[in-house]
Chains A and B, each alone.
Chain A
Amino acid sequence: MRSGTITKVTIRPASDRSLLISFGDRISDKAHQEVSRLCHALRGVRGVLNLHPAFASVLIDFDPRLRTHSEIEALVQERSSGDVSGGAEAAWEAPRLVEIPVCYGGEFGPDLEDVARHCGMDAAQVVELHSAAEYLVYFVGFSTCFPYLGGLPAALATPRLTAPRRHVPEGSVAIGGSQAGIYPLASPGGWRLIGRTPLRLFDPQDSPPGLLRMDDRVRFRPVGEVRW
């Protein structure tokens, strides 16, 4: 067992072509490390079609004509005890620190004032706190390159809207409860919008298609109004 730590791992089929590996039921850096490690270890395995990382679990989709649940489970056991610092990890891009320029407030962040009111501060303090923190990309999921960011200062936690917006513009920087995120594409959404970035988080012609990847670190930098 690595570093003498004990994590309860649950392995169960989610369907006749997928296996769900869970590392507990809480968001923690420890669970995240296990998720990241397992994803690294399973990259490029024949018959594995998709890996769906989340806060404390990984769903493994496989081709049931090529693989069985027990084969995948054996692979998980074998590879999670093995050292993945060699070949497997070499194929995985190293995490980076990515700076995201943000126009806070106004039409770009229609909920900034509400967030400030909820948190008992003024808008400038929200911007200061939000852009001073360093965030960790726990995973990318939901819908097209949506990064789930850990590290939101607790003082900025704000509940989601009771009724989601029908249209959230691409690049909106948002707070949902104790989480931070960025909408890569225009979509409906219930998080509080505090600003917007002109950076493209998703480009299908790029390889990989997403600006942010699991384990990247993120900082937000306030900028004046930019031309879109």
Chain B
Amino acid sequence: MSAIRVIAAGALTTVQDLGRFHHAHFGVSASGAADPLALRAANLLVGNAENAAALEMTLVGGTFEFETGAVIALTGSDFAPGLPLWEAVGVKAGQTVRCGPTRGGARCYLAVRGGIDTPVVMGSRSVHVMTGVGGQPLRAGDRLPVGDAAVRKPRRAISAPPEYAPETLLRVTAGPQADRFAGELYVGAYTVSEESNRMGLRLRGPAIPSPAGGMLTEGVALGAIQAPPDGQPIILFVEHQTTGGYPKPANVISADFWKLGQARPRDTVRFEEVTLDRALELLQEQEKWLYGLV
């Protein structure tokens, strides 16, 4: 079987697909690609099903050697791989792809035609870094089998890929406790803290007063914005806990999840509230863009 050898792993490189569903009632959140749009685009480019597993690199990429010839696509942040991004490219047997530090954005995806064929755990190949479900971050010397699960021919290059800026506007819809807040979230800009990880993006900025009265622990959604007692918001990310007890003024819209995956420490974010209908329109436009590629 064909395989990819990890020569250098980079800062945090993991195998990810679109996530592990149907296990939240065991306290296991979905995990999956932090920028699902870039992962899906990479898979479509090489002719995989959009849920195939690929490599997710974080801030600093790794070096990978291909044991046999392969068709790959790099999407997401530009980690200076010396290959064009957002298009399918052929690599030869023995060829090495070397990625470096990001030139903008936080995550770069490397998909290979056929998909990465690590074991499926509870319905997914995604690594859940915090618990070790699905495996561990890559280390030098790892060997990743490449599957044969391509479903179509490779596609042509993507035009007008997303741009990653250090200032981001996150569109949100009202959260379950929005009526306990007075729009404080929409006033100032917030800085993404260095303590952010795949569980949550911790923000620093104008404090959001904690509403009076406690609340019972309840289920929490991806992209939920929690306001803990210190008033510094936390955006629940792909490895979020499944239940929580902090009030939530807002929730990031699905069409902007990719921005969470591309936010770097020290980037700034602002929030803008939209209606549910608008959020779904934006998602539809994004789906059209993605499938317009193919």
A-side residues, CB < 8 A to B, are: 12-18, 20, 22, 25-27, 39, 49-59, 61, 64-65, 68-69, 139-146, 148, 184-185, 202, 204-205, 207-210, 213-214
Contact = CB atoms under 8 A, between A and B. Distances in A.
A202 B176 CA distance: 30
B25 A141 contact: yes
A176 to B, nearest CB: 11
19 contacts: A12-B176, A13-B173, A13-B174, A16-B254, A50-B22, A52-B219, A52-B242, A59-B220, A59-B221, A68-B280, A140-B26, A141-B219, A142-B27, A142-B241, A143-B27, A144-B131, A146-B27, A184-B27, A210-B27
Given A50-B30, A141-B242, A61 B24 contact: yes
Contacts of A16: 173, 251, 253-254, 276, 279-280, 283
Contacts of B243: 52, 54, 139, 141-142
Interface string B102-125: 000000000000000000011000
Interface string B152-195: 00000000000000000000011110000000000000000000
B3 interface: no
Contacts, number: 149
B22 A55 contact: no
Kindly list the 8 A-B residue pairs having the minimum CB-CB distance in the complex, ordered from nearest.
A59-B219, A52-B219, A15-B251, A50-B24, A141-B243, A16-B279, A18-B221, A15-B221
A204 B122 contact: yes
Nearest to B217: A54
A145 B280 contact: no
Nearest to B251: A15
Nearest to A39: B25
Contact of A51 (B24, B131, B244): B24
A13 B276 contact: yes
A88 to B, nearest CB: 14
B215 A25 contact: yes
Given A18-B251, A20-B219, A54-B217, 11 more contacts: A14-B221, A50-B22, A50-B25, A51-B25, A52-B220, A55-B218, A59-B218, A64-B254, A65-B283, A68-B280, A185-B131
Nearest to B256: A16
B223 interface: yes
A142 B253 CA distance: 22
Interface string B265-294: 000000000001001100100010000000
B30 to A, nearest CB: 7
B25 A140 contact: yes
Nearest to A205: B121
Interface of B: 21-28, 30, 121-122, 130-131, 133-134, 173-176, 215-224, 241-244, 248, 251-254, 276, 279-280, 283, 287
A55 B287 CA distance: 36
Contacts of B131: 143-144, 185
A16 B253 CA distance: 6
A20 B217 CA distance: 12
B143 to A, nearest CB: 21
B254 to A, nearest CB: 5
A147 to B, nearest CB: 9
Interface centre among B218, B254, B279 (most CB of A within 10 A): B218
Contacts of B25: 39, 50-53, 139-141, 214
B242 A143 contact: yes
Contact of A57 (B21, B218, B251): B218
Given A55-B216, A65-B287, A14 B251 contact: yes
Contacts of A143: 27, 130-131, 241-242
Contacts of B251: 14-16, 18
Contacts of A12: 176
Contacts of A142: 27, 217, 241-244
